[in-house]
Amino acid sequence: MENRRNFIKATTALSAGLFVPSVQSNAQPVNDATKLKVRTLGTGTNKLEVSSIGLGCMGMSYHRSFIPDKKYMVSLIQKALDMGVTFFDTAEAYGPYRNEELVGEALGGRRKDIVLCTKFGFNIQDGKLAGTNSDPKHVRQVVEQSLKRLKTDYIDLLYQHRVDPKVPIEDVAGTVKDLIKEGKVKHFGMSEANAETIRKAHAVQPLTALQSEYSLMTRQPEQDVIKTCQELGIGFVPYSPLSRGFLSGYVTEHTKYNPANDNRPTLPRYQADAIKANWVMIDTLKTFGDQRGLSAAQVALAWLLAQKPWIVPIPGTTKLAHLQENLWAMDYQFTPDELSQLTADLNKITIVGDRYSGQSAQQVNK
């Protein structure tokens, strides 16, 4: 009973944007009976078992308006592990560097309990991203630096963050293949690659996962890459499965962003007029969820999980209450009629606004 009261106290505080360090420091790992459901990415020798929902750590230090106190985010990441999350995602580009340092500090002492993912693929100059770079020599340098920041001697899943048009994908896949042979990397992944590029890379070093944006607001992967992943036995990891917070219902036309550390002010989909036009999506999710005790975010995540058994979303958060909310989504099982009707209702909605603009738009699905 005391543990339950502490959890409710912590959840209430986190929902209000506060934190209760004493509660976090007493958190105990879950026992075998309460571990989260798991899913498998990849096939054969390239398969990787992970919790059915992972944790995207980017927003804890990058691109989400405010940067929380690091010690609280360390505690939140550790709490996620205690709650059964085993799949943690970061990248050198997030910060840059700060997010890998955060994840390394939080999880370095429990390395054997987790699946750790990071990414390479950018030039970083004066603390800013300066175009793509997947030159083999650069990839090796990035991996060595990431290993130090993550406080580990191997990376479970290494993604190419964005396809580099200057470097043949076969050379990139070959470099990762060598890193796998050396034991510094366990599995290969790509992000925002198209079907043709996936096939070329997979022929050199089989991919375990493709990570790309996929949510009820961004369903383009259904047209080709998800089909390619199914054919080749590659897992699919949706990032921004809640569309950068929009599908939670907390982002409105009145939301204020900090342009110094948030990419949403530059994205067409998060302009006030687009948010108002797209609010029909929230209404649809809420109507379904209200009858079943689910939040809009939970319906959105449960829908993604229902699409394929090898889809593993990685929603991010800075709040314990939202972490628990997201994880509970995996417990909901649609009936065939429910899923069919909800999908039909969602298919009627036309999304207003592109997901990216400028250089970011040019770097996706290459």
Burial class (CB in 10 A: 0-12, 13-18, 19+), 344: exposed
Residue 1 CB partners (closer than 8 Å, separation 6+): none
Task: Please spell the DSSP secondary structure of 215-256, one letter per residue.
Answer: BTTB-GGGGTHHHHHHHHT-EEEEESTTTTTGGGT---TT--
Residue corresponding to tokens 């319906």 = 299
Identify the pLDDT of residue 262. Answer: 82
Could you read off the pLDDT of 146-155 as tens digits, one per residue?
999 999 999 9
Q: Is the pLDDT of residue 29 over 50?
A: no
Indicate the DSSP class of residue 36: P
Q: Is the pLDDT of residue 18 over 50?
A: no
Residue corresponding to tokens 């990376």 = 155
pTM: 0.88
What domains are defined for the chain? 2-362 (3.20.20.100)
Residue corresponding to tokens 């499965």 = 241
Distance CA 288, CA 115 (A): 33
Catalytic residue status for 332: no
Identify the pLDDT of residue 358. Answer: 58
Could you read off the pLDDT of 182-232 as tens digits, one per residue?
999 999 999 999 999 999 999 999 999 999 999 999 999 999 999 999 999
Distance CA 155, CA 149 (A): 11
CA angle 149, 153, 157 (to 5 degrees): 85
Identify the pLDDT of residue 62. Answer: 87
Alpha carbon of 5 to those of 1, 2, 62, 211, 282: distances in Å?
A: 6, 5, 32, 38, 32
Identify the pLDDT of residue 259. Answer: 76
Coil, helix or strand for 105?
helix
Residue corresponding to tokens 């987790």 = 114
Mean of pLDDT values over 166-175: 98
Identify the pLDDT of residue 223. Answer: 96
Burial class (CB in 10 A: 0-12, 13-18, 19+), 315: buried
Could you read off the pLDDT of 289-346 as tens digits, one per residue?
999 999 999 999 999 999 999 999 999 999 999 999 999 999 999 999 999 999 999 9
Output the CA torsion 336→342→345→348 (10° steps). Answer: -90
Identify the pLDDT of residue 3. Answer: 39
Residue (of 102, 22, 26) closest to 68 by Cα position: 102
Could you read off the pLDDT of 54-95 as tens digits, one per residue?
999 999 998 877 888 999 999 999 999 999 999 999 999 999
Distance CA 94, CA 42 (A): 25
Residue corresponding to tokens 């991010």 = 316
**Residue tagged active-site, from 62, 72, 94, 239:** 94
Q: Is the pLDDT of residue 363 over 90?
A: no
